[in-house]
Amino acid sequence: MAIYINEEPKEFHLQTDVSSYIFKVMKNNQLGQLYYGKKIRHRPSFSHLFQSRFRSNVVNVFPDDTTFSLGTQMQEYPAYGTGDFRYPAYAIRQENGSRITQFEFKSYRVIEGKPKLEGLPSTYVASDDEAMTLDILLSDDRLHIDLHLVYTVFEKYNVITRNAKFVNHGSEAVDLPVALSASVDLPDDDFVMMQLSGSWARERHLYERKLQPGVQSISSTRTASSAQQNPFIALRRPDTNENLGSVYGFSLVYSGNFLAQVEVDDYHISRVTMGINPFDFNWRLSPGDGFQTPEVVMVFSDRGLTGMSQTYQTLYRERLASGTWRDRERPVLINNWEGTYFDFNEEKIVTMARQAKELGAELFVLDDGWFGERDDDTTSLGDWFVDKRKLPNGLAGLSKRIRELGLDLGLWFEPEMISEKSRLYQQHPDWVIHVPGRRMSPGRNQYVLDFSRQEVVDYLYERMASAIEEASLSYIKWDMNRHITESYSAALSAEHQQELGHRYILGVYRLYEKLTSHYPNVLFESCASGGGRFDPGLLHYAPQTWTSDDTDAVERLKIQFGTSFVYPLSAIGAHVSAVPNHQASRVTPLSTRAAVAYFGVFGYELDVTSMTAEEKQAVRRQIAFFKANRRVIQFGDFYRIESPYEKDGNVTSWMVVSKDKKEALAARYQVLARPNPAIDRIRFKGLDPDKLYQLDGSDGRFYGDELMNAGLILDDLVSQDRPSEKSLDFASRLFKLTAVE
C-alpha cells in the first residue's frame, strides 16, 4: 500500500520503498506538514510529530491557544496574511482588493493510477497498479473556490509528484498572481543547495551553497526554462556524497518561467517552493474556470546523489518520455550544420549523405537553410516552403535520393520564430509578440510568434505536417533561439496580458502534442540555442534534447556531468564535431571527442567529405563501437565516478552498467598531462561483486568486488587507437567490461 490514511487524527502517509511523506489536517482545518524523509513504518497516529509550542512575538490562530501559530508551523500549501510571514505557495486577489483566503479541508479521494494533467506534460503510468494518487479537496467557502492538492506515489520508482488546481465556483472573477505547484517545509536548515546553472555554450554546470537564513532561489523570466537556470534544485546533507547520505530532489515538469526557492526562517525551518514564476504573472480565474499548475517531481534518496539521479533518470526515461521512440535505440545521425552552415545545395547534401552512409550512419539531418530564401540568419523564418534554388527537386526529391542510399532523413525547424523579412510577417504582423506603438527589440534578426493564439499553432502544424509527409521525415530538430521581449498579445484583453507567458508555453505543448500524436514514428529532438530549454516538460514529447551548441569535448565534460544529475543518457544529444572546435577553438583528438559523445545520443556534426582517409576509418570504428554498446548506454544505470567540479577538475570519469549487470562501459578523461604523475586507479561502480568480468582489449579478468573496491591501476591515459608518443593532453580511455558466464 502506497497511501495510508488515519481517519480520526486526519493524517495522510504517502510511502514509497524508500521514503515517507506525512501531513495532517490541523485544528484550524488547514494542512500541516509532519515528516518527509527516509521511510518509516506506519502507525495509527503521528501526532507526536506535530510541532506546537509557545513563541513570543508571534500571531496566533486562536485566542485561547498561544502554542499554535501559522508563522512557526510547518505547512503543506501555505498562504500569506494570517500570521505566516514567509513566502506563500499561492495568492488570490479578489474584486474588493482583499488577498486573504481560508482554504479548509473538505474531503479526500484515493485514485488508482494517475490522472493526466489538462494541457500540461506530466509523468504517467503504464498500468494503474504502478501508482496511487491522493486528491485533497480544500475550499474557501466565502470565495466558493476549490483547491485540489494532488499527490501521486510511484511506490517502486521511489517518487512522489505534486500539483495543485484551483476551480472557481463563485460568481466573481479573481486573480491568481501566485500559483506554485508545491511547498515543502523541512524542520531544519542543515543542507547544501545544489543547482544547475550556466549560459549559452556552458549549460547546467553544478553549483552548491550552504543554506543561510533568508531566501535563496533560482528562476527564469525568459519564457523558457533557460540555459541560465534549470528547473531543478536538490538539498543534500553536508556529508552526503555520490554514494552515501540523504538528499532531496525537486524537479519541475515545465518549460517556461519558473521559480525554485528555499526560504530559511528564524527558527531554521527550510521552506522549499517550486512552480510558475510569480514575476510578471497573473491568471484571471473567471467563474466556472480552473487553473492547473505544472507537476513537481520529488525524490528522496538515502543512497547519496547517485540514488537520486538514477531515480530521476529511470522515471524520466520510462514514465515521462513517451511515444514510439521511448524504448527504441536511437539512430546514429550526421548533421550538416557545422559542415556547411547555409552554403549547400542538393548535390552537396547527397554527397555528404552518401559518405555518411559508408561510415555507418543511419540518419542524415538537414539543418537550417532549406526554406524560403534563407542564405543567412536575417530572413525567411516562418516561410516553411522549400528553397528550390538549393533543392530543385523539393523535399520529396531530396528524400528519395537520401532514402535510396539507405538513410533516413531529418529536418531542422524553428517554428516559434519569425523573420521580419518573410512573407508570413507581411501577411500577419499581428502574430508577432510586440506592443503596438513601441519599439521592438531585435534578437538574432528574429521575433517570436504568439503561440497563445490557436491560429498560429494551427498554421505551424499545417506547415510542419506538410513537410513531414512530403519528405517522409523520420526526425525533426525543433529549435528555439530567442526569448520573448515586449511581452504583449494582440489577442488578449488587458486583464489577461500577464497570462501570455504561460499561454505561450501551453501553445508549444499543443503543437508538440498534435504532431507527436499524428506522426508517432517521427523522432523529435528539442533544441533552444542548444540546451536553453532542456527540461522535463519538453522531454515528455521529445525524448532527446540537443544538450548544448558547445561540442568541444572538454567543455562537454562539465555540461554532460551536470545534466546527468536529473536527465537520462537517452535524452542527452551528443555529437562529434570538427576541430578546431567552432565554439572553443580547441583541438582535441577524434578519439576523445567520440569517447565523450558516446555517453548520450551519438552523432556527428561536420563535413564528412573533408575528412582524411584515416579519420574516416576511425569514424567507422567509432560508429560500429557505439552501435554495439548503445543499448547499455541508453538504457543502463549511469554512475558518476570522478567529478570535473572537484579537486582541480583535471580528471573526469563515469560509467554505465546494464540492468542485469552483465555489461558495463566506463570512460576516464584527462584534460592536461601532468609531469611525473602518481600512480592512479579507477574504481568502478554498480557491478555485481560476485561476477567475473573480462576487460575488453586485454587478457585481464577481474571480479566485480575487486574492480569496485581495489580498482584498476592506470599506468597511462593513452587512447587505444593513438600512439603513446603523441600528446596526453585531452586524453581519454574507455573500459568495456563483460561478465564471463
pLDDT digits (tens, 9 = 90+) for 531-566: 999 999 999 999 999 999 999 999 999 999 999 999
Question: Same domain, yes or no, for 353 and 281?
Answer: no
Last residue in a domain, options 635, 662, 691: 635
Nearest Cα neighbor of 313 from 576, 648, 543 is 543
| Predicted local confidence at residue 726, as pLDDT | 67
Give tens-digit pLDDT for 559-608.
999 999 999 999 999 999 999 999 999 999 999 999 999 999 999 999 99
| Predicted local confidence at residue 179, as pLDDT | 98
Give tens-digit pLDDT for 244-274.
999 999 999 999 999 999 999 999 999 999 9
Query: No. of H helices and E strands in the chain?
Result: 12, 38
Amino acid 701 reads: R
Considering 450, 479, 535, 637, which one is annotated as catalytic?
Answer: 479
Q: What Rg do the C-alpha atoms of the chain give, in angstroms?
A: 27
> What is the end-to-end Cα distance of the chain in Å, rounded?
38
Question: Same domain, yes or no, for 244 and 338?
Answer: no
Question: Same domain, yes or no, for 261 and 176?
Answer: yes
Confidence class for position 716, pLDDT limits 50, 70, 90: low
pLDDT at 107 over 50: yes
Question: Same domain, yes or no, for 340 and 483?
Answer: yes
| Residue 421 CA neighbour count, 13 Å, CB half | 12
Question: Same domain, yes or no, for 543 and 406?
Answer: yes
CA dihedral for 695, 697, 698, 699, sign (positive or negative): positive
Q: Which DSSP category does 18 fall into? A: S
Q: How many distinct structural domains can be found in the chain? A: 3
Question: Same domain, yes or no, for 631 and 486?
Answer: yes
Question: Same domain, yes or no, for 619 and 490?
Answer: yes
Span 633-641, average pLDDT: 98
Here the cell at position 660 is 542485469
pLDDT at 740 over 60: yes
How far is 148 from 146, CA to CA, in rounded Å?
A: 7
Percentage of residues of the chain with pLDDT beyond 90: 95
Span 373-380, average pLDDT: 97
pLDDT at 720 over 50: no
Give tens-digit pLDDT for 513-537.
999 999 999 999 999 999 999 999 9
Nearest Cα neighbor of 226 from 249, 251, 197 is 197
Percentage of residues of the chain with pLDDT beyond 70: 99
Question: Same domain, yes or no, for 261 and 112?
Answer: yes
> Does some domain include residue 323?
no
Confidence class for position 741, pLDDT limits 50, 70, 90: confident
| Predicted local confidence at residue 530, as pLDDT | 95
Here the cell at position 140 is 474557501
pLDDT at 722 over 70: no
Cis amide leading into 415 (omega within 30): no
Is residue 549 annotated as part of the catalytic site, yes or no?
A: yes
pLDDT at 721 over 50: no
| Predicted local confidence at residue 398, as pLDDT | 98
Give tens-digit pLDDT for 114-167.
999 999 999 999 999 999 999 999 999 999 999 999 999 999 999 999 999 999
DSSP assignments along 612-628, one per residue: -HHHHHHHHHHHHHHHH
Task: For residue 67, report the phi and psi dihedrals to the nearest 5 degrees.
Answer: -100, -5
| Predicted local confidence at residue 719, as pLDDT | 40
pLDDT at 294 over 50: yes
Confidence class for position 677, pLDDT limits 50, 70, 90: confident
Residue-averaged pLDDT of the chain? 96
Is residue 479 annotated as part of the catalytic site, yes or no?
A: yes
Residue 269 contacts residue 189 (beta carbons within 8 Å): yes
> Does some domain include residue 250?
yes
CATH number at residue 73: 2.70.98.60
Residue 731 contacts residue 592 (beta carbons within 8 Å): yes
Here the cell at position 41 is 513504518
Question: Same domain, yes or no, for 93 and 184?
Answer: yes
Q: Is the pTM of this model over 0.85?
A: yes
pLDDT at 724 over 80: no
> Does some domain include residue 512?
yes
Task: For residue 294, report the phi and psi dihedrals to the nearest 5 degrees.
Answer: -65, 175
> Does some domain include residue 146?
yes
118 contact partners, CB below 8 Å, separation of at least 6:
292
Confidence class for position 664, pLDDT limits 50, 70, 90: very high
Considering 549, 550, 552, 637, which one is annotated as catalytic?
Answer: 549
| Predicted local confidence at residue 54, as pLDDT | 80
Which residues span the domain enclosing 343? 333-635
Here the cell at position 598 is 558516446
Question: Same domain, yes or no, for 488 and 575?
Answer: yes
